[in-house]
Homo-oligomer: A and B are copies of this chain.
Amino acid sequence: MAEDAPPIRFGILGCAEVARKVSRAITLSPNTTLYAVGSRSLDKATKFAASNGFPPHAKVYGSYEGVIEDPEVDAVYVPLPTSLHVQWAVLAAQKKKHLLLEKPVALNVHDLHKILEACESNGLQYMDATMWMHHPRTTQMFHFLSDPQQFGHLQSVHATSTYTASPYFLENDIRVKHGGKCPLMVLTGSVPGVKPDLDALGALGDTGWYCVRAILWASKYELPKSATALHKPTYNDAGVILACAASLSWEDDKVATFYCSFLTNVSMDIIVMGTKGSLRVHDYIIPNQEKEAKFSTSSNSNWVELSIGWAPNPSDNVVYNDLPQEVHMVKEFARLVGAIKYNNSKPEDTWPVISRKTQLVIDAVKTSIDNGLEPVEIKG
């Protein structure tokens, strides 16, 4: 994409909370512009555009169709409830819109296949909106994990992704007991009054997505051979998973574990352990601060005489960040879209591949939960 190429024009489907963050990112990214937003409520879309930096000439639609049928829209960002992804992502692809899809991307890999096939057959770029993948810190950490002298071979990973649901959630949780609204719909911005979809992945999809991606990332995207849920998950009365844990294992001796929850104080940990080194990060999903991010590494450590200390001690690393991670995401996505649009490039295959692997692992964990914690083979 040439420096002077026009910016990629984004349309946004729905007015979820996270869309505010991505709208800001589209504004901040040098190669994109906010072009359209659609909601089933025109009033809601109008208010969203007015309060989220949309330029005066932006299009505001009282439907999702409006956005995907607008010929000026290059790409759509889809933060709709997960159960609606397959329908709208496929429709958008049929209208030749490149796709930035909020996570969890689908209820299962079969739905995701439909989305990916629609993108592929239409020559479109697909990317899931896993923002932390695009932070410069993530790149630096990956370099460390790729260093045979400093890190060696991967042995084990543990990842967490948790937060405590808001009082609003808990209030609605009580209402569920009386046949009311499902808390998951509150979390995902779904529609009040609609019966909760019990196939929803709950915390496994929302927060577990990050854990699974982190584990795949640390293993250089080598698909585990099996997944096992580790205990009966916590459910709410509507049968939605509120907390769960699982382990993943590979053909060799590598093993990974993760814990995800809506009921636990915010945590975002990855501990990656190799034969020669280890890496720790405690805010991988959302850095504590936007402008700088830390991680800790340890290499070839041993104990000093009498085992009364370490040598060398772990190192703290700080990565300064000129642009927020979601801006890096949007910028990279738009770069790929621009290359297709202006340079006849092919879509970058990395993103659909790792999105599919993430979904495959989540599906296996869900199956293990449903099958009484039996190990479930993961087939690529």
The answer to whether A155 and B278 touch across the interface, beta carbons within 8 angstroms, is no
**Contact partners of A164 in chain B: CB under 8 A:** 275-276, 300, 302
Known interface pairs A152-B265, A280-B282, A286-B307; A158-B257 also in contact (CB < 8 Å): yes
A295 to B290, CA, bound (A): 23
**Contact partners of A344 in chain B: CB under 8 A:** none
**Contact partners of A255 in chain B: CB under 8 A:** 230-231, 245, 259
The answer to whether A290 and B308 touch across the interface, beta carbons within 8 angstroms, is yes
The answer to whether A309 and B280 touch across the interface, beta carbons within 8 angstroms, is no
- Which one of A4-12, A266-274, A359-367 is at the interface? A266-274
- Kindly supply a per-residue 1/0 record for chain A positions 198-236, scoring 1 wherever the CB is within 8 Å of any chain B CB and 0 otherwise: 000000000000000000000000000000101111100
**Contact partners of A290 in chain B: CB under 8 A:** 308-309
**Contact partners of A307 in chain B: CB under 8 A:** 18, 21, 286
**Contact partners of A282 in chain B: CB under 8 A:** 280, 296, 314
The answer to whether A298 and B155 touch across the interface, beta carbons within 8 angstroms, is no
Q: How far is the CB of A102 from chain B (nearest CB, A)?
A: 13
Contact residues of A with B, CB < 8 Å? 18, 20-21, 24, 152, 155-156, 158, 160, 162-164, 228, 230-234, 243, 245, 247, 249, 253, 255, 257, 259, 261, 263-267, 269, 271, 273-278, 280, 282-283, 286-290, 296, 298-303, 306-310, 313-314, 324, 373, 375
Other contacts beyond A155-B263, A255-B259, A265-B298: 15, CB < 8 A:
A21-B306, A158-B257, A160-B271, A160-B273, A164-B300, A228-B230, A230-B255, A231-B253, A245-B255, A263-B275, A264-B274, A267-B271, A271-B271, A287-B309, A288-B314
